[in-house]
Structure 1
Amino acid sequence: MSGTSSYTLNSGVTIPKVGLGVYDIPIEATEDVVYEALKAGYRHVDSAATYDNEEQAANGIARWLAENPTHKRSEIFYTTKVFDDHHGYQLTRQSVEESLAKAARIGYIDLVLVHSPRSDYNMRHGTWNALQEFAASGKVKNIGVSNYGIKHLRELLAYPDLKIKPAVNQIELHPWLLRPRLVNFCKKNNIVVEAYSPLARGYKFDDPDLLAVARRHKKTPTQILIAWSLQKGYVVLPKTAKISRLKPNLDVFDIKLSTDDLKQLEKPGEHFNTGWDPTVYPLDNEK
């Protein structure tokens, strides 16, 4: 298998299991890193309005497609996100139009996510209505959320004018942040789970249990963590600005972690967030 191995979203569209996250990749490097990732076998790129590198990410895709005319745009899955400061119907429409303009060379966006639930009911509701309109227009192929907790998902699924359920919930996940209730809720509602910061930003690379499993499989800790996400059924989004790491991060599909490996890796007693955690953001009636 390769980076083109995929899951099927509730829209019927397929999404590659491994994607390149471009968070924190310098603007001037983003186009080249995305281009090299596609050369290495990636078919999935994950950006966001707040990363300030959407145009460069899309240009990397466009450049690779121009140089490889036997490959079609439909083989590439490109994601972006609407940030908190553009919640609400009008601002979300503005944000997505800007993202579409930056992605003009690739024609459309495969997935737009609400980056986090940090506003209020009316703003989140307006945002979702705007995204539903873009999905109906075909300019955006799928819509979903990121950093939504169970309560935020329940709120969304109860919208009286809901036409399209979220295809994805992108959340931080790794063996030190398991979130079993949230993951199970997503799966029960046919929402694909995407794991960001799957390497725990490198904070746990010296974990003795991780190192032991890596030695056993003759793989790097990074490869074991990517394989862990895949084995849990997640889309996994490792981030790297180093071109030399792109191929090794895809060389994971032959790793089969045993029950003992999983037990050794997973730390259910920890809740190690490497950054923010909007999944706990209060609903209006909790403030």
Structure 2
Amino acid sequence: MTTVPTVKLNNGVEIPQLGFGVFQVPDDQTTAAVAQALEAGYRSIDTAAIYGNESGVGRALANSGIAREELFVTTKLWNADQGYDATLRAFDASLAKLGLDHLDLYLIHWPTPARDLYLDSWRAIEHLAGDGRIRAAGVSNFQPAHLTRLRENSTLVPAVNQIELHPGLQQTELRAFHAQHGIATEAWSPLAQGAVLNDPAVTAVADRTGKSPAQVVLRWHLQLGNIVIPKSVTPARIRQNLEVFDFELTDEDMAAIAATDRDLRTGPHPDQFN
């Protein structure tokens, strides 16, 4: 079984650097996919209220026989549930579907700036963290301006910002902001839904190392220090995505992949998505 390294968050909580995502996995398929991931050695599972599969994740966790303290479970607050009271209700609903009594990480899914409710939502999350119902609190898809506003209006600094991040969209400025303020960078769509797997810089490393292009890109993330949550429902690929700790990219490899940045978004821009 692969031992996954952890990243220590700004409040001392440790999160596995490589986790398992379930975006776009139907609820009835989620239980089997998460069970496969847990069996392969993943201990961090990332879901969200809007994915509609928190119950499927919960079933897999309950059936796994793995001690709760060995698991790291993340879910996210959906846009329609932002606001102080609505956030508290949404949190309770997510927790019930997951069948858990606390979360390891709770994220505001999008800033939705036109709604202008993320400060109220964050205040509710601060309350939940204070009550010990959330081990770590964070955000997703926040830009520097949104993060700065949180910092100016709260004593709780997000432990994590989960953002679209892959070789085609490297988010250099945002990652630098995170590093400056003690916020861990977590990558969603780490393989750009496959759009970066044919990049010559990636395939050249894959050919040399005998690894798959996906493994090369995941290794690139890990060496940058990103937390990464690839998703798959294919048992062989679920295992393969975990087999990235037995090789290293050279400085030349990292530089070649860095040169492929091209503002390639697979999802919406956080400033415009409401």
TM-score over 0.5 (shorter chain):
yes
Counterpart amino acid of residue 220 in structure 2? W
Q: 1:213 touches 1:265 (CA, 8 Å); kept in 2?
A: no
Q: Deviations over 1:58-88 (max 9, x none)?
A: 22111112xxxxx421111000000111111
| Count of residue pairs brought into register by the alignment | 274
Change (3 A) 1:154 1:26: same
* Residues 1:131 and 1:114: Cα distance change in structure 2 (over 3 Å): same
Aligned in 2, Cα 1:158/1:268: closer, same or farther, shift over 3 Å?
A: farther
Write out per-residue CA displacement over residues 178-224 of structure 1, whole angstroms, 9 at most, x where no aligned residue: 11110010011111100111111012222222111111111000100
Please show how residues 100-119 of structure 1 align to structure 2 within 5 Å. 100-104=95-99, 106-119=100-113
Task: Tell me how far apart the structure 2 counterparts of residues 282 and 21 of structure 1 sit (CA, whole Å).
Answer: 22
Quote the residue 1:14 is aligned against. 14
Give the C-alpha shift of residue 282 in structure 1: 9.2
Partner of 1:140 in structure 2?
134
Deviation at 1:141, TM superposition (A): 1.4
Letter in 1 for 2:188: Y
Q: CA deviation at 1:121?
A: 7.5
Point out where structure 1 has 5 or more consecutive residues left out of the alignment. 66-70
Residue from 41, 48, 70 that aligns with 1:75? 70
Q: Percent same amino acid at aligned positions?
A: 38
How far residue 3 of structure 1 moved from its aligned partner, in angstroms, is: 5.0
User: Distance in 1 between the 2:196 and 2:211 partners?
Assistant: 16
Check conservation: 1:18, 1:44, Cα contact below 8 A: yes
Question: 2:56 and 2:4 mapped to 1: Cα distance?
Answer: 22
In the alignment, is the contact (CA less than 8 A) between 1:3 and 1:250 conserved in 2?
no
Q: Which secondary structure state, in structure 2, belongs to the residue aligned with residue 158 of structure 1?
A: helix
1:111-146 deviation per Cα after TM superposition (whole angstroms, max 9, x unaligned)? 100001004575111100100111111122111000
Q: 1:186 to 1:121 in 2, by over 3 A?
A: farther
Q: Is the 8 A contact 2:170 2:261 kept in 1?
A: no
- CA–CA distance in 2 between the matches of 1:247 and 1:33? 11
Aligned equivalent of 2:174, options 182, 186, 189: 182
Tell me the TM-score normalised to structure 1 length.
Answer: 0.91
Equivalent residues of 2:16, 2:43 under 8 A apart = yes
Unaligned runs of 5+ in 2: none
DSSP-derived class of the 1:225 partner: helix
2:87 maps to amino acid = T
Deviation of 1:4 after TM superposition, in Å, equals: 3.2
For 1:42, the aligned partner's letter is: Y
Distance in 1 between residues matched to 2:90 and 2:261, nearest whole Å: 39
Q: Could you tell me how far apart the structure 1 residues matched to 2:122 and 2:116 are? A: 10
Give the root-mean-square deviation of aligned CA atoms: 1.7
- Corresponding residue for 1:94? 89
- 2: CA distance, partners of 1:281 / 1:166: 22
1:1-287 matches, within 5 Å, as: 2-65=2-65, 71-104=66-99, 106-120=100-114, 122-159=116-153, 162-267=154-259, 269-278=261-270, 280-281=271-272
Is the 8 Å Cα contact of residues 114 and 144 (structure 1) preserved in structure 2?
yes
